[in-house]
């Protein structure tokens, strides 16, 4: 997988423009409203396959649950901090060839980061 590739996920947000700028700047996602889905900007990852949407936050929809493939967790954490994000969990090893971390975007969403490969 390439930097920025993830599985489909809906991310709850309270400010669509701020969230769009954060995610497109950090991961290179293309974010746009599709006909018939006004108010629900959809994103597609660099692979053109993975995608999801930015959905309005409400009391029952507060946290996404997915992981983003990155070339470098260290570089991505630095870029997230520069873009107004924070770190919920620093980089930790999963195996000898993979690591993970959790960042928090400016809207308070926890996003998992994955680097490397698991298995043979």
Q: What is the pLDDT of residues 30-55, one digit of tens each?
A: 999 988 778 889 899 888 887 888 98
**What pTM does this model have?**
0.70
Give percent of the chain with pLDDT exceeding 70: 95
Q: Which two tokens stand for residue 75?
A: 């570089």
More confident residue, 85 or 9: 85
Which backbone phi and psi does 48 adopt, to 5 degrees? 75, 5
pLDDT at 12: 93
More confident residue, 64 or 102: 102
* Residues 76 and 119: beta-carbon distance below 8 Å: no
- Arithmetic mean of pLDDT over the chain: 89
Residues near 30 by beta carbon (within 8 Å), at least 6 away in sequence: 24, 43, 44
């Amino acid at each position: 997988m390439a930097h920025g590739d993830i599985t489909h996920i809906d991310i709850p947000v309270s400010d669509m423009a701020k969230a769009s700028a954060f995610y497109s700047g950090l991961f290179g996602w293309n974010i746009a409203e599709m006909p018939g889905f006004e108010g629900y900007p959809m994103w597609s990852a660099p692979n053109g396959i993975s995608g999801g949407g930015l959905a309005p936050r409400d009391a029952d929809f507060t946290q996404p649950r997915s992981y983003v493939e990155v070339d470098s967790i260290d570089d991505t954490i630095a870029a997230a901090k520069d873009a107004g994000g924070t770190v919920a969990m620093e980089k930790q090893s999963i195996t000898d060839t993979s690591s993970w971390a959790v960042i928090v975007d400016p809207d308070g969403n926890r996003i998992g980061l994955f680097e490397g490969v698991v298995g043979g």
